[in-house]
Amino acid sequence: MDDMGERVLREIEEAKTLAGLDQLRLKYLGKKGEITALLKTVGSLPKEERPGFGAKVNALREVIETRLREKTASLEREALEEKVRQEVVDVTLPGNLPQVGSLHPLTKALREIVGIFYGMGFTVYESREAETDEMNFVKLNLEPGHPARDAQDTLYLTDTTLLRTHTSPGQIRGMLEMQGRLPVRFIVPGRVYRRDPMDASHSPVFHQVEGLVIDRHITFEHLKGCFLEFARGFFGPDTEIRLRPSYFPFTEPSAEIDVSCTICRGKGCQVCGRTGWLELSGAGMAHPRVIRNGGYDPDEVTGFAFGFGLDRAAMLKWGIDDLRVLFENDLRFLTQFEGL
């Protein structure tokens, strides 16, 4: 029986799992267990041997029970410790930071532009991108068959509605919304569409910023002063502008506005073709018929208008030489404008 005791205790000691311990408990202490079987033999022993034998077996059973309890507790503790080890979270590890986005350069450029014009008392009028032929062309003196229409082919939604080719129809809609009140002083930023294949300087979708001022006694000088203020605010305080005679059906007289080259500051470089000047905007005095189409009397008020490419302005400001990068959303390009 001493041999057996040693064997049982060794088996308990070597058990690796709680299930294993349960099996040992069954094997020795269960109804059909070996210790139980020993106890049952007591009755068949000679009387004088019974107490001694019974006491021994009971003592052995107690030892086994105690060891089983201890071993169970120790296996349970180990299992718990292992669980804790596996589930531990190191709260000091650096987290997975989400990539933080930044404003698109065109959005930044527009916000700056809007800020500058706010400073001069302008509001922002957002016109519509789906426009009528009437608004996009006719009300701006571009009758059907007008040769200037050729340069502005676009996608037609129906026979009479199209994706606007410029923000100039915003002049008419903005004026009509003002219902004759003065002064009219707003810019119209937004997307415009042309039938152009994409290349380094063309895109079928691009952005313009239109400007319109209507009031009594508005002169060409106001146009010059206003645009110079904008150009210096946007491109830098040493920027100059110059106006060249031009033609637009909705302004008379009309001009092209150049800004001094943002790269060489007017000295002459590759970007400006060694002229020192960069063409930026169309402009002019609002045509009397346009003023009338907006619900105002051209005998009472005058005004000026301008329209330039937002994309081009942003490219000139930051020295971007390919329009396409503004539309490709390549993070290597966009992240360069973080914090700018």
Among positions 117, 125, 206, 306, the unique one binding ligand DAH when judged by CB under 6 A? 306
User: Which residue, 109 or 283, is less far from ligand DAH as judged by CB?
Assistant: 283
Least distance between ligand DAH and beta carbon 282 (Å): 2
168 binds ligand DAH (CB under 6 A): yes
Q: Of the candidates 68, 109, 283, 326, which one interacts with ligand DAH according to CB under 6 A?
A: 283
311 near ligand DAH, rule: CB under 6 A: no
| Binding residue (CB under 6 A) for ligand DAH from 131, 133, 210, 258 | 210
* Contact in structure between 216 and 182 (CB atoms under 8 Å): yes
Of all helices (H) and strands (E), which one includes residue 74? helix 50-87
Contact of 214 with 184, CB cutoff 8 Å? yes
Which letter, b or e, does each residue of 141-153 get, where b requires 16 or more Cβ atoms within 10 Å of its Cβ? bbeeeeeebeebe
Which C-beta is closer to ligand DAH: that of 105 or that of 190?
A: 190
Strand-pairing partners, residue 282, are 256, 307
> Which residue from 170, 284, 294, 303 is in contact with ligand DAH, where contact means CB under 6 A?
284
Min dist CB 267 to ligand DAH, Å, is: 28
Q: List the beta strands (DSSP E) in the chain.
A: 123-124, 130-132, 161-163, 184-193, 205-215, 241-248, 251-260, 277-286, 302-309
Residue carrying structure tokens 């509605």 = 161
> What DSSP state is assigned to residue 281?
E
- Which two tokens mark 145? 């068959």
How near is the Cβ of 309 to ligand DAH at its closest, in Å? 8
- Give the footprint of ligand DAH on residues 238-267 (CB under 6 A): 248, 251
166 near ligand DAH, judged by CB under 6 A: yes
For ligand DAH, how many residues bind (rule: CB under 6 A)? Answer: 11
Closest approach, Cβ 289 to ligand DAH, in A, equals 14
Q: Which stretch binds ligand DAH (CB under 6 A): 1-9, 16-24, 62-70, 304-312?
A: 304-312
What is the chain's Cα-based Rg? Answer: 44
Taking CB under 6 A as the criterion, the residue among 8, 163, 261, 305 binding ligand DAH is: 305
- Judged by CB under 6 A, does residue 282 bind ligand DAH? yes
- In terms of DSSP H, where are the helices of 165-309? 169-178, 220-235, 288-293
- CA gap 210, 171 in Å, rounded: 8
Task: Give the integer Cα–Cα distance in Å for 165 and 194.
Answer: 6
DSSP-derived pairing of the beta strands 123-124 and 184-193: parallel
> By C-beta, is 60 or 305 nearer to ligand DAH?
305
Residue (42 or 176) nearer to ligand DAH, CB:
176
The backbone torsions φ and ψ at residue 206, rounded to the nearest 5 degrees and listed phi first, read: -145, -170
The span of 45-53, 153-161, 292-300, 305-313 binding ligand DAH (CB under 6 A) equals 305-313
Query: Between 189 and 284, whose beta carbon lies closer to ligand DAH?
Result: 284
Does position 307 interact with ligand DAH (CB under 6 A)? The reply is yes
Query: Using CB under 6 A as the criterion, which residues of the chain lie in contact with ligand DAH when the complex forms?
Result: 166, 168, 210, 248, 251, 282-284, 305-307
